[in-house]
Structure 1
Amino acid sequence: MKAGLLRLADYLGSSYWFVPTIMAIGAVLLAIGMVTLDATLGSSWMGGYAWVYASHPDGARQVLSSVGGSMITVAGTVFSVTIAAVVYASGQYGPRLLTNFMRDRGNQVTLGTFIATFLYCLLVLRTIRSAEESGGYGFVPNLALLVGVLLALCSIAVLIYFIHHVPSKIHINSVIEDVGDRLLRGIDDRFPRFIGEAPGDHDSTAEKLPATFRDTADAAVGADRFVVTAKDTGYIQFLDDETVMRVARENGLVLRLQYQPGDFVHIGRALVEAWPPGRCDDKCADALRDAVAIGSRRSALQDLRFLVDELVEIAARALSPGVNDPFTAVTCLDWLSAALSDLAGRSLPSHLRVDDDGALRVIAHPVTFASLMDRSFGALAQYCAADMVAALRYLNALGEVSLDCDEPDRLATIRAYADKLEELANDGLKGFNLRRVRHRADELRAALAEPDYKRRLRDGTAWLAGTA
């Protein structure tokens, strides 16, 4: 249930229609309320304010007609401008970034403001009656008319904001900043937040791993498990870790998750495997299926790799021969290095998760430092190796990440990608450009080989301010 609700909330948040619809409903309620208030108070209260005067029916109709007609015209223009910006962004930065523009609150509120103002004026307009039309009793909702004028003024302010917002939003630095900031917030939110608790003694917990889940299990032992299959085809958007742990604890199960958020799963594939198989019935299987939200596209709710892929896609497009914009790739590398630096200083989860009593309950597929390095720097190495500016910043970014690394395995991963870039640069660069990249790679490797590598990297002018 929770997974489905979060998936729905993410869908509504990324839709272009939800906020304008809510604002339109609010405009309808506001119009009804203001007309009712006008009918109750009348227009006698206006005599005490010199700047407010009662309008005649014809004048009120003209004002509301002008405001309403102009608002629906501007709403159409706003929609057209938004679609044009979306088409431009899709072709320039990649189709996966469309969601970022569709979920932008500025665009949604702008469209909603004009539609809401139009609906408000339309509903108030139909309540205006002259004395001839109503048989001697006219009605002009002066207070509602005043609110309509105020809404028109607000709409003008929103239009000015929108004219500034659209070009600034599609600026490449703003696009990259939005993705990079969400990636940093995602890392901060996901770590160290795990399914259950990490085992205090990893080795002893690993010894309790059921035989059916061991690599050494034969065919008979390996089949001793209950398989919960996927009910849909698509990408895993959200995994309700609390429900998974609760089901495992209540039924005395050890669950192995076959996928993680962002993976593509086909209907009928093994989604979760449970042991002992006799304790997992259909009700338990349905609860586990409901804990996994599957949709037609990837979501950044729990999928850090999706945000990394977006930055990689922008950088790869920028370094393509048709675009040849290395400085956009440099900006992506800066944000990737910030994210990997943040991750390098954190304790990442074990794949074995225990409950409050220390019993093994879940075998997961956590995100690792090496996997995100491969997803980011590994994917960009072939593109950066063909451009000197991007290659130098690539090595600088590796140096920045190493400043937050204390584990030898992670430092070895960084050295491996420095070697990979140099190897690829031997084919992609020549002459002076190649010598500069080799020199920078040698500097990085020499610094990382020393125990005080952090001081050496900080003191070296090549790393100050990320100079390329």
Structure 2
Amino acid sequence: MMIDMLKKIPSAVKRYAKMTKREKWNELYSNLWMTPMIYAVLSLILVFITLWADLKMNVYKGMPSFLIVDYGLTKTILSTLTAGILSLTTFTFYGVLGALSTFSSQFSPRILKNFMMNAVTQRTLGIFSGSFLYVLFCLFFINEDTAQAYSLIPTAAVLTAMITISTFAFFINHIVTWLQVTNLAEQIKRESVDIIESSLVNELKPHKAKNPDEMHTQVPGGEGEMLQAEKSGYLQKIDFAELIDEAARDNLIIRLDNRIGSFVFRSTSIFTYWNPSPDYELDENKYLHMFQVGKNQTELQDIEFSINKFVEIAIRALGNNDPKTATNIIYQIGDLLIQLSEMEVFSPYLTDENGNLRVILKNLTYADYLYRGFASIRHYANKDAVITGELLYVLNAIAQATDKKDHRDIWNFTKYTATGFDHNLLYDLDMDRFNHILWEIAETTGNTDSYEKLITEMKN
């Protein structure tokens, strides 16, 4: 009986139950209706309490005289506040649309969701919606025959209006603050660090092979069997813990053919698997449910998507002749890459609890993250000596802060950046600064022998 009931539960509900706390929050608050709906319910509860207190319990009889209001004045207060709060709510929605338009044109369309999911934005719209519904329903239920006077209803309405006006002023300040690129970049960086901690550290690191070099012996040969995707879209999320558990039960070794954030085409391979038993039949539905494919990229497990937000802001700043914004974004990307180096183990092998190889990731190395973070900026700044110098300065800071295992990748990207610059635009002071920073990077990464060769390539 219980099994039959569980089978009748919609798949969307089952998927929601398996989500982590962060994923549930993202699912609920990635739109603008959830928080206003909560505040609307709270406002209706407040309507019931104040009406019950004033109309049934006659609370006004025990209140001070200056809080007792007759029907006529109560109706005037409520009708005035209803129109006023509605007008203020409409103006606020226009403010939200204006802010979204500014973010999209000046920074990146990808950060609109960040503004929508911000707690201040959601609560502001919730307070406006709840306040309007409160005064509207109070105005609807009161009449001249129900009570001789009112106390809690007009008092609560006035307090609600005061809160609404204060919230409006606070929200205007919030929009102005968000338009400052330093605050926006800090918010995106916090989001990126959360992704690193939740997906790369908490989900994957416990399953990463302790001795990656020894895993090569467990990698199967041959072509293997492929599981095809049911629909086209972006690969948004993979349930790695369940995937490893099921692979261990079925004695499978799985190689992912796509990274999270990649666009998966229908009827193409989503992963390749090997099983030692020739009679084994894969339960395709069981494994496909572990892969979430949707029409948009999300930040749930895709650190590359968050890095791309930074890159888009920097490129637009370069196009708008705004070097200060571009420099700030380069610093934020550098700080994020340092944290990525500290937290992530760049191994493609995931094992079960017995240390057996179960999943082979289509993994990004530290060199890939460097390229995705700085390559586009380097391309658009190849005629800007100041921005390129700042980029080299950040690479030097990354080299000093990271472990030696990443130094080769940093030096290779440094050469890529230095040789790609148009050196005909460099003057003596620019060249001195370039050479000084390059020497520091070479010294930090242990590539002083390659420094002279790099300088020669630059001159040629």
Give the TM-score band, short-chain normalised: 0.7 to 0.9
Counterpart of 1:211, as a letter, is G
Q: Report the equivalent of 2:191.
A: 182
Partners of 2:58 and 2:121 lie apart in 1 by: 38
Is it true that 1:344 corresponds to 2:320 in the alignment? no
Alignment partner for residue 426 of structure 1, among 415, 422, 425? 422
Task: Identify if the C-alpha distance between structure 1 residues 449 and 60 changes in structure 2 by more than 3 Å, giving closer, same or farther.
Answer: closer
**Distance in 2 between residues matched to 1:438 and 1:358, nearest whole Å:** 48
**Structure 1 residues without counterparts, runs of 5 or longer:** 132-136, 213-221, 453-468
Count of residues in correspondence between the two structures: 429
Question: What are structure 2's unaligned runs of at least 5 residues?
Answer: 1-13, 449-460
Contact kept in structure 2, 1:341 and 1:403, CA below 8 Å: no
> Matches of 2:374 and 2:304 in 1, distance apart?
12
- Secondary structure of the structure 2 residue equivalent to 1:271: strand
Structure-2 residue corresponding to 1:134: none
User: Contact 2:399/2:441 (CA < 8 Å) preserved in 1?
Assistant: no
Q: Secondary structure at the match of 1:302?
A: coil
Q: Does 1:205 align with 2:215?
A: yes
Match of 1:147 in 2: 156
Flag the 1:450–1:292 CA change in 2: closer, same or farther, 3 A: closer
For residues 263 and 294 of structure 2, what CA distance do their matches in structure 1 show?
A: 9
TM norm structure 2 = 0.86
Residue 264 of structure 2 is aligned to residue 265 of structure 1: yes
Per the alignment, residue 466 of structure 1 pairs with: none
1:334 positional shift = 0.6
Q: What does residue range 26-175 of structure 1 map to in structure 2 within 5 Å?
A: 26-47=42-63, 49-53=64-68, 55-131=69-145, 138=147, 142-175=151-184
The residue identity in structure 1 corresponding to 2:251 is G
- 2:312 maps to a residue whose letter is E
> 2:257·2:270 contact (CA, 8 Å) conserved in 1?
yes
The answer to whether the aligner puts 1:332 opposite 2:347 as a matched pair is no
SS in structure 1 opposite 2:45? helix
SS of the equivalent of 1:211 reads: coil
CA–CA distance in structure 1, aligned partners of residues 274 and 174 of structure 2: 54
Shift in alpha-carbon separation, 1:81–1:97, aligned structure 2, 3 A: same
The match for 1:377 among 369, 374, 377 is 374
**Distance in structure 2 (CA, Å) of the matches to 1:417 and 1:349:** 18
Q: Which residue of 1 aligns with 2:386?
A: 389
Q: Please state how far the C-alpha of 1:139 moved relative to its aligned partner.
A: 6.2
Deviation at 1:301, TM superposition (A): 1.2
Instruction: Report what 1:400 is aligned to.
Output: 397
Conserved? CA contact 1:385–1:422, under 8 Å:
no
Letter in 1 for 2:62: M
Amino acid at match of 1:443: W
Residue of structure 1 in register with 2:434 after alignment: 438
Distance 1:60 1:424, change over 3 A: same
Is the aligned partner of 1:417 residue 2:413?
Answer: yes
Do the aligned partners of 2:228 and 2:270 also contact (CA within 8 Å) in 1? yes
| Separation in structure 1 between the aligned mates of residue 15 and residue 241 of structure 2, nearest angstrom | 10
Inter-partner Cα distance in structure 1 for 2:150 and 2:288: 55
Residues 44 and 346 of structure 1: CA distance in aligned 2, closer, same or farther (over 3 Å): closer
Distance 2:38 2:227 in 1: 39
Q: How far off its partner does 1:431 sit?
A: 2.4
Q: Is 1:235–1:265's contact at 8 Å kept on the other side of the alignment?
A: yes
User: What is the rounded CA distance, in whole Å, between the counterparts of 1:207 and 1:281 in structure 2?
Assistant: 24
Structure 2 distance, partners of 1:425, 1:287, is 51
The 1:139–1:254 alpha-carbon spacing in structure 2 relative to 1, beyond 3 Å, is: farther
Question: 1:40 and 1:432 mapped to 2: Cα distance?
Answer: 87
Residue 326 (structure 1) shift:
1.2
State the partner residue of 2:246.
Answer: 247
Query: Aligned residues: percent identity?
Result: 23
What CA distance in whole angstroms lies between the structure 2 residues aligned with 1:100 and 1:352? 33
Q: Which amino acid aligns with 2:238?
A: L
Q: CA deviation at 1:384?
A: 2.8
Deviations 1:170-219 (A, max 9, x none): 1122221211222233333344334452334434432122223xxxxxxx
Counterpart mapping for 1:453-464 below 5 A: none
Larger deviation, residues 179-188 vs 65-74 = 179-188
**Alignment partners' CA distance in 1, 2:375 and 2:273:** 34
Q: Are 1:230 and 1:267, in contact at CA under 8 Å, matched by a contact in 2?
A: yes
RMSD: 2.4
- TM-score normalised per structure 1: 0.85
Q: Is 187-196 or 75-84 further displaced after alignment?
A: 187-196
Greater mean deviation of Cα atoms: 7-16 or 370-379: 7-16
- The CA distance in 1 between the partners of 2:354 and 2:235, in whole Å, is 29
1:426 Cα deviation after fit: 2.9
**2:383/2:422 contact within 8 Å kept:** no
**1:20·1:112 contact (CA, 8 Å) conserved in 2?**
yes
Quick one: distance in 2 between partners of 1:287 and 1:110? 42
**AA partner of residue 192 (structure 1):** V
Corresponding letter in the other structure for 2:163: C
Partner in structure 2 of residue 447 of structure 1: 443
How many Å separate the matches in 2 of 1:188 and 1:29? 39
Contact 1:342/1:404 (8 A) holds in 2: no
Aligned equivalents of 1:185, 1:172: Cα separation in 2: 20
Verify the 8 A CA contact 1:110 1:162 in the aligned structure 2: yes
Q: Which residue of 1 aligns with 2:293?
A: 294
